[in-house]
Structure 1
Amino acid sequence: MQNQHIIRNFIVETSSRPGNFAKVATAIGMAEGDIGDITTLKSGALTTVRDISITFKSEEQLQQVISNIEAIGNGVKIHAVTDDVLKAHEGGKIAMKSQLDVRSLGDLQRIYTPGVASVCMEIVHNPEKANYFTSIGSSVAIVTDGTAILGLGNIGSVAGMPVMEGKAVLLDQFVGLSGIPILLNTSDPDEIVETVKHIHQGFGAILLEDIGSPHCFEIEERLKAELPIPVMHDDQHGTAVVALAAILSACKATGVDPKTAVIGQVGLGAAGLAICRMLMAYGVEEVYGLDRQEEAQNRLVNYGGQTIASLEEMMETCDIIIATTGVSGLIKPEMVRKGQIILALSNPNPEILPSAAIAAGAAFAADGRSVNNVIGFPGIFKGALDAGAKEITYTMLIAAAQAIVSHTKPGELIPNPLDPMVHHLVARAVEEAANNEMNR
């Protein structure tokens, strides 16, 4: 289980003289607090009040920041420390709402009985019209068994509901799809597959989320084989798409050809194995994987990949290193080879800090904060649904990664995930790739 960061909002008042807020920022930085959004609540002639979002690694660090700010004096005051994360979740983050108003008898007759009967019969005679006359074609089931919730582990599907709601918010916000959380009270692959098969008719696609390894592999493969709609385990392929985009951007910045580079993947869980498979599908000639579990390494070999004996050998052999182990500090600076590209993607604490990797000779380094699968899955599902695709293929996923790279500015690893244009470009690239495949 990973250590979970704490986010708090500080309401801080300072005198309205230049340099006073800098003292507050310094006090926060001295305790290694990570400043996020800053909102000015009041700006007067004498004082300024700001709402400062700060991320902490521990309760002790939080208390140290409070002490540091209080020690400034000179009229600096903390008026409140609030938990805006909990506040944002009160009542849940999503709701199913009507797109139509019922204000008259005529509205009622058109929306419900008797008018709705004619729409039902249209679908009886032409089943494909269900995607046109209902919300099925724009609805995505977000299915979880709660066995691998973020860095929290097996906490159950109900405790994982805030994550599923967050996923639904992002689908709606970025591409206008309706995400419907499906919380399963079983982790048995047979039961999960049968449950999803029985409910799939109400959805245009299935997004598998936070389902643990190794049963996530079996579940996804069986559902993809048995359902006539797109199925994707985002922890695998959404992460792999963004990782591929990051690798392509890093290679572009350093002049490395990704297809001829030797690439090593440390950690072969859901994300790590999917990254290896994505790289092989892209055309990378040498991809090596490493995991402490023999079963995970055998799984990579079954997919056509190669394993390597040790982390030390991988660091000596590979030009590009990707790590998704969840083990902070696993990669030591002395292991870094000059000119390597290193993506240490574990959150919240990477296998090696980018600054340490660069100092040790890496040509390029980044951590998980720079590689977020939020930039991938909304557009992937939107493009697949718009194309009427029956599955999500590697051709579509690679198109998504290339679309992300096309919108990446020089000096960036991937674009800002809040940029609506990125999601539009990903969706269109996936739709075009799907149409090309279907028209062959």
Structure 2
Amino acid sequence: MKSNSIDTVLEVRLRHEPGMLAQVAAAIAEHRGLLCEIRTVRVGDEHTQREITVETDTHDQITKIIAAIQTLTGAEVLTTRDRVMEAHRGGKIVVESRIELDSVRALRTIYTPGVAQIVRAIQIDPWVAADTTWRGTSVAIVTDGSRVLGLGNVGPLASLPVMEGKAVLYRCFAGLSAVPLVLDVSSAQELIDTATRIAPGFAAIHLEDIRSPDCFEIEAALAKRLKKPVFHDDQHGTATAVLAALINAAKVVGLRLDSATIGVVGLGAAGTAIANLLGRFGVGEVLAHDPDPAAAARGAQVGARTVAAPVLYAHSDVLIAATGIPRLIPPTSIRRGQIVFALSNPEAEIAPDVALSAGAALASDGRAINNALAFPGLMRAAIETRARTITSDMMVAAAKAIASCAPPGELVPSPLDLALHEAVFAAAARSVRETGIANTAQP
């Protein structure tokens, strides 16, 4: 299934007859639906009521599946629900108090007059805010919605569900309070100025889904202006996850990365950051290709050798594509024995099974190599160590930690593995201490 698949819950009543559920499953399969979950809701004397979750690529498929089930004698579809829409109803995040407000004393302590004591303490020493306000564990997720993965320029409001999802991941995987800030701005400079103004209330700035090349200008300007971590996840989270997968892929195929040639196709936010991090990690050589001259120049700036696409395909031990263009890479371009990472979502530049059939030794895509493996632990490490920035050394340390957590037979672990995020945090925090980038100046 594609990563933009549709989950629909069908509430079905089935007569007590051998084979009824199998007939329903066959109707789902006939229209290329994937039966994901079955839950028994009610068992009666003559019928059983079940909730069946079906995954499809299109709404048309689910319509045909429902019609097919309705034709079965003894089967009836009672209701349908869109599982994704249901999960998002009401929003995915809330702001809750950590303090129980149950007395006048509590009110006087957390608000006036007690709060004045904290205000004065922060005036004297701004670092007190890290211990006495949410600033010590808070992240601003900043976007203008100009490049939402797989959807393009959707604008600020439509990007809000994505930012809420990011906030959930921060809370569940790193214990951080992240706030979506979707900005209606007309230029990179306006976003820079706005983010600078809201920065005092947060420990760090997370940039998300901002078009290239604006994202490079914005990140560089904010990193220079602010005395706190600024992290563009589409660049650095992706690059860290790719390096982790590559470390394990190289072990599987017996490839020495310090003498390997890595080809990167597409030099937008992700591709440029991947080329940069792999170079800093110490691979043999990074080749890069992008038809846009400005993008190609960025590749050269981070140390990649820009070449024509056929040259890159022919000479790369590892082929990494981050173009956003579905089915860009023809099977004939795959070199036998290559490692292939085609990262674009919702549809990759070449499907892993197609790459393997064309001779690749190993292939994966952007669904498995996910930046959710990296950003929660990296940001927590930066905040808790009071790092001034998130460095390539921290990303390399995080990538090695991710690779070490992968179960046998897998390139990377599951993002749901909480031990993974602890390992990333520990490795990145250790890197901060070893490189001495903790912030001792006023926040």
Return the TM-score normalized by structure 1.
0.93
Per-residue deviation, residues 41-91 of structure 1 (Å, max 9, x unmatched): 3467865544333332223222233344445x2534333221121222222
1:9 aligns with 2:9: yes
AA in 2 matched with 1:362: A
Give the drift of 1:260: 1.6
Q: Which residue of 1 aligns with 2:146?
A: 147
Per-residue deviation, residues 397-425 of structure 1 (Å, max 9, x unmatched): 11111111111011112111111111111
Give the drift of 1:40: 4.0
Q: Which residue of 2 aligns with 1:383?
A: 381
Determine if contact 1:264/1:289 at 8 Å carries over to the other structure.
Answer: yes
Matches within 5 A, 1:250-289: 250-289=249-288
Matches within 5 A, 1:93-132: 93-132=92-131
Q: Which residue of 2 aligns with 1:89?
A: 88
Per-residue deviation, residues 185-227 of structure 1 (Å, max 9, x unmatched): 1141211111111221100000001111111001001111121
1:156 aligns with 2:155: yes
Q: How many angstroms apart in 2 are the aligned matches of 1:23 and 1:164?
A: 41
1:138 aligns with 2:137: yes
Q: Which residue of 1 aligns with 2:226?
A: 227
Q: 1:198 to 1:17 in 2, by over 3 A?
A: same
| Secondary structure of 1:351's aligned partner | coil
Q: Which residue of 1 aligns with 2:350?
A: 352
Per-residue deviation, residues 310-351 of structure 1 (Å, max 9, x unmatched): 2x3222111111112222222222222211111111112112
Q: Which residue of 2 aligns with 1:418?
A: 416
Q: 2:319 aligns with which of 318, 321, 327?
A: 321
1:59 aligns with 2:59: yes
Per-residue deviation, residues 350-403 of structure 1 (Å, max 9, x unmatched): 122211211221111112221221221111111111111110000111111111
| Secondary structure of 1:370's aligned partner | coil
Q: How many angstroms apart in 2 are the aligned matches of 1:219 and 1:90?
A: 32
Q: How many angstroms apart in 1 are the aligned matches of 2:372 and 2:436?
A: 27
| Secondary structure of 1:271's aligned partner | helix
| Secondary structure of 2:93's aligned partner | coil
AA in 2 matched with 1:150: L
AA in 2 matched with 1:29: A
Q: 1:360 to 1:196 in 2, by over 3 A?
A: same
Q: 1:417 to 1:43 in 2, by over 3 A?
A: farther
AA in 2 matched with 1:273: T
Q: How many angstroms apart in 2 are the aligned matches of 1:330 and 1:34?
A: 27
Per-residue deviation, residues 200-258 of structure 1 (Å, max 9, x unmatched): 11000000011111110010011111210000111111111111111112112222122
Determine if contact 1:5/1:348 at 8 Å carries over to the other structure.
Answer: no
| Secondary structure of 2:341's aligned partner | strand
Residue identity (%): 43
Q: Which residue of 2 aligns with 1:305?
A: 304
Q: How many angstroms apart in 2 are the aligned matches of 1:28 and 1:104?
A: 57
Determine if contact 1:147/1:187 at 8 Å carries over to the other structure.
Answer: no
1:181 aligns with 2:180: yes
Q: How many angstroms apart in 2 are the aligned matches of 1:404 and 1:43?
A: 45
| Secondary structure of 2:360's aligned partner | coil
Gaps of 5+ in 2: 439-443
Determine if contact 2:149/2:345 at 8 Å carries over to the other structure.
Answer: no
| Secondary structure of 1:147's aligned partner | coil
AA in 1 matched with 2:118: V
Return the TM-score normalized by structure 2.
0.93
Count of residues in Structure 1 that have an aligned counterpart in Structure 2: 437
Relative to structure 2, which stretch is displaced further, 212-221 or 78-87? 78-87
Determine if contact 2:229/2:390 at 8 Å carries over to the other structure.
Answer: yes
Give the drift of 1:306: 1.1
Determine if contact 1:330/1:352 at 8 Å carries over to the other structure.
Answer: yes
Q: 1:31 to 1:247 in 2, by over 3 A?
A: farther
Determine if contact 1:123/1:129 at 8 Å carries over to the other structure.
Answer: yes
Q: 1:313 to 1:15 in 2, by over 3 A?
A: farther
Q: How many angstroms apart in 1 are the aligned matches of 2:173 and 2:135?
A: 18
Q: Which residue of 2 aligns with 1:395?
A: 393
Q: How many angstroms apart in 1 are the aligned matches of 2:303 and 2:425?
A: 29
AA in 1 matched with 2:214: H
AA in 1 matched with 2:89: E
Determine if contact 1:9/1:53 at 8 Å carries over to the other structure.
Answer: yes
| Secondary structure of 1:172's aligned partner | helix
AA in 1 matched with 2:231: M
1:433 aligns with 2:427: no
Per-residue deviation, residues 259-303 of structure 1 (Å, max 9, x unmatched): 221111111111111111111111112111111211111111122
Q: How many angstroms apart in 1 are the aligned matches of 2:16 and 2:334?
A: 47
Q: Which residue of 1 aligns with 2:441?
A: none
Q: How many angstroms apart in 1 are the aligned matches of 2:364 and 2:16?
A: 38
Q: Which residue of 2 aligns with 1:362?
A: 360
